[in-house]
Structure 1
Amino acid sequence: MKRSLLISILFFLLGALGTVNAQRKLTKKPGQLGGDPDGLSVRDSTFSNETRIKLSGKTKYTDYRIFFLQKDTVYVDTTLNIKKEYAFNFLRKDNFELLAFHNQGQTFNTLGYDFSNISSFPDIGRSAKQFFYIEKEDIKYYQVPTPTTEILYRTGMLQGQVLDANFALNFSKRFNVSIAYRGIRSLGQYRRSLASQGNFRSSFHYETKERQYTIKGHIASQDLLNYENGGLTQASLDAFISDDPNFSERGRLDVNLSNTENVFEGERYYFEHDFKLISSKKDTLESANFSNLKVGHTFNIENKLFQFNESVPTSFLGTASTTTALNETVKNKTFNNQIYLEFNSKYVLGRFRVKSNYTSYNYGYDTIYNVNNTPAQLKLKGSAIGLGADWKAKIKNFSLTADALVTPGNSRVGGSHLSGEARYKKDSLFSVKASLLINSKSPNFNFLLQHSTYDDYNWENNFQDINTQDIGFAIESKWINASANFTNIENYAYFDENNTPQQSAENITYLKVKASNEFKYKKFALNNTVMYQNVSSGSSVFRVPDLVTRNTLYYTDYWFKGKPMQVQIGATFKYFSKFKANAYNPLLAEFTLQNTTEIGYPTIDLFFNAQVRRTRIYFKIDNMTSNFRKTKDYFSAPNYPYRDFVIRFGLVWNWFI
């Protein structure tokens, strides 16, 4: 796998060197190459501000486009705003609904759940490791007139650093490629909390001159390693909570595991191509009155692996069948082929697609780890054929989408999925959205089959499908953004306080209401986000805090003569109410129920950010008030303290050739 990655890197770099000079002469018109012309756009100050350096008189910010699998389109954005502050983390996303562990690259506990994009098929599981796993929907495809690069750097915790680098170019006007790598090595403040991860991605997009044939695809290879310490021992936990000065150096605190690590690896190959059987002369992205008929094919093969390693078994995890080193590996290979026929015309108000899926899976173990507790079968295999359709339309100010897929039979990848969305947009004043999701699928494979050297971690279950229904409403305006989701879950799957998989006999009824707005006065702004949650049924197994809030007061201005630098200085207050947060299990790489510890507390972070041309610089102080607390009550999960007062530095740098 490493050799194939090296070959891919060399191929793209050699291609880049050979085409740099040619690309400097390329010009593009917005609205060409993959992407929805009505997609989301963020204005880029690099190209729109006349006081900034121009790349060329023939290029502008709308020429530098990024689109995703669902064809949502954004522009390369080099502005400095509060959303960039929230997303300056290892995930590169706003993690308002997540509670981070103390070290970057460790997992997250969950403060709120989102079921709007639930998968149609079961997975390998190990959900605590998959926060950092880049799914196919997250892969970026580029359309750029010149070579484009973005580098993110951030200091690690105690020792180490974070790097996320993206490079995109085109070999011609219709052939764009990109290569990206995100890596971290951060030691952490506590024993055995090292995070060392790498995510490699490479994507391409090509279309013929008349757009008769298009193809796009990507490869991704990911390796996520974490040392696991099992949290603090009881004596160390007491010393931490009481703020014993002898243990202000966190490396002195004892932990439950001293020789344990887990690894999550993934490798994916994806491509999608289509050919127009019938097309009209008006077949352009700028025209809505065209008709065409195309046939398409999507191919996706993905291999995932989870490995638990321990040099000596420990009683903390239970009784083991051996006293020698553990090296437990479980694999899952999925293969998905889809063919579709797509009709795009004003007569169906947009795009209508009929599709057929063939999906196969192979999950399980190659080795027997416990001769006394071996499941009847070590592998789960199967395949299924599904039929479905999706529709996307636009009628004046209304946008409508619908997607349906049914996979009949008793296969573990059988089930059904139906989702729909209606959006009304009134110019730039406001938009209103309503959504519906009905999903039925098997629990993830690790709920069905688990094999381990430890006696208590062996099972084989025949669980019922999980049925999820979600109704959502949202409004976006210049005054307020708000959303409400009502979710009902039947046969909810979870791990109990004994680390055993269960299905709830009681339906989960979950309400989430979230609102955000920003008040501005001259150079000051107050950005607020509040989330209220209520579990009216099933709260004994589905647990969330009632209230989560984030409030940021900040100042923005341009400094020095000629305004060469924009600055952003502020403080963020975050609070979540007390609840019995789930515990973390490193052998399962899952969160489990616990009934002894409640967590919930406020934090204050300070930040100083600056932008000089196309470089954004970030200074941040995390959990500033921790040094003033006589009782250390801040935890990410039971036995796992949240981070102490720490100062970190980072930057994001874009440049264009």
Structure 2
Amino acid sequence: MQNKYFYILVFCFFTVSLVAQTKLSKVNKVNPNNRSDTTSLTNRSKGFKELATIDMYLQFNNALDTISVDTTLTIKKDYKLNYLQKDNFNLMPFANIGQTYNTLSFNSWDENTSPLFGARARHFNYLEHKDIMSYEVPTPWTRLTYKTAFEQGQLLDAFFTVNLSKQFNFSIAYKGLRSLGNYQNALTSSGNFRFVTNYKTKNEKYQAKGYVVMQDLLNQENGGLKEEDLDNFTSGNEEFLDRSVFDPVFENAENILKGKRFFLEHSYGILHDTDSLSNNTIRLVNKISLEDKYYQYKQTASATDVFGDAFTNSIRDKVKLENFKTSLGLNYINNVIGDISFAVNYTDVNYGYNSIVLFPETTITNRIKSNFFGVEGAYSKTYKGFNITGKGGLNLSDTFVGSYLDATLNWQFNEDIAFSGGIALNSRLANYNHLLYQSDYINYNWYNLDRFQNVNTQQLKLNMKSQKWFNAVLDLSNIDNYTYFNLEETIDGVKKIEPKQYNKPLQYLRIKLQKEFRVGNFALDNTLMYQNVVSDEEVLNVPAFISRNTLYYSNQLFKKSMTLQTGVTFNYFSEYNMNGYDPLLAEFYTQNETKLGGFPRLDFFINAKVRQTRIFFKAEHFNSSFTGYDYFSAPNNPYRDFTIRFGLVWDFFL
């Protein structure tokens, strides 16, 4: 890791020099009454000669797909106005905003060839590389997203981007949350800062994208309700409808995940040859990524016997990861052959703790360190309505053995119907906290790097999209050496959570259907998922059915100056052995003692759009008092009661 600070200085110097070389151009305003989703907004700044319309405000994801900014009001916007700002169809939120989510369906495949950092329950709002967008805008664009929280708090995401010239853009944003919650010791506080910049020369020979992301996510933890209080909750006892009167399992713990990541990707065109038959382009591409993060669990007043015996009465567990990766490769584009990329990469990882734990019969080491080379590549080609894409990677390491391959074929059958299908293969080590963990609690110490085998996943995926008929997604996965946290009970009756590896194959089927029906101004949006797991033991538990159905009315009022949307959303998932939550690990674990689910969740909403402002009003879980108090997000962790919340998304185009 000796060179990491050198790369940080290079990154900062690169960003500062671009700003110094670029001047902000004047922007002439037009009549603001002409603003809409289709009409011109303002004159474009220097380099943008036409009048600006909403489709000129562009976003680019990690795959460099172009996405136009969308300020319309649709039912999908209602689904996304939450803490994650994503559709959380397959997630079950905890009682307070900013807490974790129980996962109702399992994403079996990823393209990582190395282990992931642990504390996955804290990572739902942790921005990964794929979540960072870059932008190109004709005029400055600001977006404010706000939503109320629970008891003394709010969520605010403030974003701003501007093109200082046609070639140079930067954006800066911060999402902050603080919410006290309705239960004791359930405060959440998080912040996500991001700065993104992209630059290209006028002839586009040199192109660069870089960003800095700094994040901290803190949760107070209370262990959920005590066993003796579950009856008081489920019975609807009026004395306990004020949730603050519950005494949780403990009231002196908190965990926090902090991380910062620096990334730079730049390329230079060493060949650009265009003629009437072919287009040959060769670019030299370099990527640099450095991420430092840590997870800490603290219990300062006194240890609890929930996790067993402890070495000390004051618990302070802290684990760090330093992950540096760089790659150098070539990208060749030819309109006959296609788009081909190949690169060699180098990775340096340092994960662990500051001390070694000694037991009478074993020693728990404190570090997993490695550096290794790897290769990666990608290919894409479009021909007569067919598009084939593929990408893969391989670690050249004896310890961090890993590889992945993802191949997809897309077919545009007609203007309405599109099909896609493919296969995905992945082999990598289990996450770091499965391999090595240390804690002041005696039961939470293990080292499995030399015992656990690679998790191997093979997935077949099919997809259909059609506005006229329906949207469908099917994936069938086979998983070998599935690794998970399991609940066991020790001889003295203490419940113990520890990593396990299932050494037999398991199969996992998932089918998701979505269709919206419209009659006049009324619509019924339906999403249904069916899941099935085939294995000799119950090591992967998911509900058989998940359903979301929204009946709503939408119309344009006041001479089409306002769009109104109102309706009811019904959420349901079938009863199953729901995963439990361990606040010490910040992980979910498999348990087969308690079945939960089978309860409805009804939300009433009124949404409106006036010019570039979208307003959201929602009565969440309004059926809680008359359909039974049996709603839980995890064993001993109740879901939210009825509450009324307000939110808005406000766009400014200057």
What's the counterpart of residue 489 of structure 1? 479
The alpha-carbon distance between structure 1 residues 257 and 618, as it changes in their structure 2 partners (threshold 3 A), is same
What's the counterpart of residue 146 of structure 1? 139
Shift of 1:487: 0.4
CA distance in 2, matches of 1:407, 1:53: 49
CA distance in 2, matches of 1:89, 1:328: 31
DSSP-derived class of the 2:503 partner: coil
DSSP-derived class of the 2:443 partner: helix
Which residue, out of 291, 314, 322, partners 2:312?
A: 322
CA distance in 1, matches of 2:428, 2:265: 25
What's the counterpart of residue 458 of structure 1? 445
Counterparts in 2 of 1:338-377, with a 5 A limit?
A: 338-348=327-337, 350-367=338-355, 375-377=363-365
**Amino acid of the structure 1 residue aligned with 2:421:** A
Which residue, out of 638, 641, 644, partners 1:647?
A: 644
The alpha-carbon distance between structure 1 residues 554 and 289, as it changes in their structure 2 partners (threshold 3 A), is farther
Shift of 1:62: 2.2
Is 1:569 the counterpart of 2:569? The answer is: no
The alpha-carbon distance between structure 1 residues 372 and 82, as it changes in their structure 2 partners (threshold 3 A), is farther
8 Å CA contact retained: 1:264, 1:306: yes
The normalised TM-score by structure 1 is 0.91
What's the counterpart of residue 606 of structure 2? 608
What's the counterpart of residue 584 of structure 1? 581
**Amino acid of the structure 2 residue aligned with 1:551:** N
Shift of 1:428: 2.8
**Amino acid of the structure 1 residue aligned with 2:303:** P
8 Å CA contact retained: 1:23, 1:170: no
What's the counterpart of residue 176 of structure 1? 169
CA distance in 2, matches of 1:373, 1:527: 59
The normalised TM-score by structure 2 is 0.91
8 Å CA contact retained: 2:357, 2:364: no
**Amino acid of the structure 1 residue aligned with 2:127:** I
What's the counterpart of residue 548 of structure 1? 546
8 Å CA contact retained: 2:340, 2:377: yes
**Amino acid of the structure 2 residue aligned with 1:573:** F
Shift of 1:47: 4.5
8 Å CA contact retained: 1:328, 1:369: no
8 Å CA contact retained: 1:68, 1:140: yes
8 Å CA contact retained: 2:60, 2:67: yes
Shift of 1:611: 0.3
Q: For the aligned residues, what is the CA RMSD?
A: 2.3
Q: Structure 1 stretch 270-279 or stretch 115-124: which is displaced more?
A: 115-124
Is 1:405 the counterpart of 2:417? The answer is: no
8 Å CA contact retained: 1:523, 1:557: yes
CA distance in 1, matches of 2:42, 2:510: 45
What's the counterpart of residue 275 of structure 1? 268
What's the counterpart of residue 65 of structure 1? 58
CA distance in 2, matches of 1:565, 1:610: 7
Which residue, out of 432, 435, 449, partners 1:448?
A: 435
Shift of 1:371: 7.2
Shift of 1:24: 4.8
> CA offsets, 1:287-306, max 9 Å, x none?
99421111111101111100
Shift of 1:555: 0.2
DSSP-derived class of the 1:172 partner: coil
**Amino acid of the structure 2 residue aligned with 1:492:** Y
What's the counterpart of residue 490 of structure 2? none
Is 1:434 the counterpart of 2:421? The answer is: yes
Shift of 1:46: 5.8
Counterparts in 2 of 1:214-225, with a 5 A limit?
A: 214-225=207-218
8 Å CA contact retained: 2:109, 2:426: no
Count of paired positions: 620
DSSP-derived class of the 2:397 partner: coil
> CA offsets, 1:262-319, max 9 Å, x none?
000111000101111111246xxxx994211111111011111000111111111211
Counterparts in 2 of 1:73-92, with a 5 A limit?
A: 73-92=66-85
Q: Structure 1 stretch 147-156 or stretch 591-600: which is displaced more?
A: 591-600
The alpha-carbon distance between structure 1 residues 362 and 373, as it changes in their structure 2 partners (threshold 3 A), is farther
The alpha-carbon distance between structure 1 residues 342 and 49, as it changes in their structure 2 partners (threshold 3 A), is closer
8 Å CA contact retained: 1:509, 1:538: no
What's the counterpart of residue 237 of structure 1? 230
**Amino acid of the structure 1 residue aligned with 2:383:** I
What's the counterpart of residue 531 of structure 1? 529
CA distance in 1, matches of 2:125, 2:356: 29
The alpha-carbon distance between structure 1 residues 196 and 171, as it changes in their structure 2 partners (threshold 3 A), is same
Counterparts in 2 of 1:205-220, with a 5 A limit?
A: 205-220=198-213
Which residue, out of 151, 161, 182, partners 1:189?
A: 182
CA distance in 2, matches of 1:488, 1:291: 40
The alpha-carbon distance between structure 1 residues 347 and 619, as it changes in their structure 2 partners (threshold 3 A), is same
The alpha-carbon distance between structure 1 residues 389 and 621, as it changes in their structure 2 partners (threshold 3 A), is same
The alpha-carbon distance between structure 1 residues 262 and 538, as it changes in their structure 2 partners (threshold 3 A), is farther
CA distance in 2, matches of 1:63, 1:653: 18
Is 1:521 the counterpart of 2:519? The answer is: yes
> CA offsets, 1:618-655, max 9 Å, x none?
001111110113x4110000000000000000100001
Is 1:387 the counterpart of 2:384? The answer is: no
CA distance in 2, matches of 1:288, 1:220: 43
Q: Structure 1 stretch 603-612 or stretch 273-282: which is displaced more?
A: 273-282
**Amino acid of the structure 2 residue aligned with 1:308:** Y
What's the counterpart of residue 256 of structure 1? 249
DSSP-derived class of the 1:132 partner: coil
The alpha-carbon distance between structure 1 residues 545 and 619, as it changes in their structure 2 partners (threshold 3 A), is same
8 Å CA contact retained: 2:358, 2:364: no
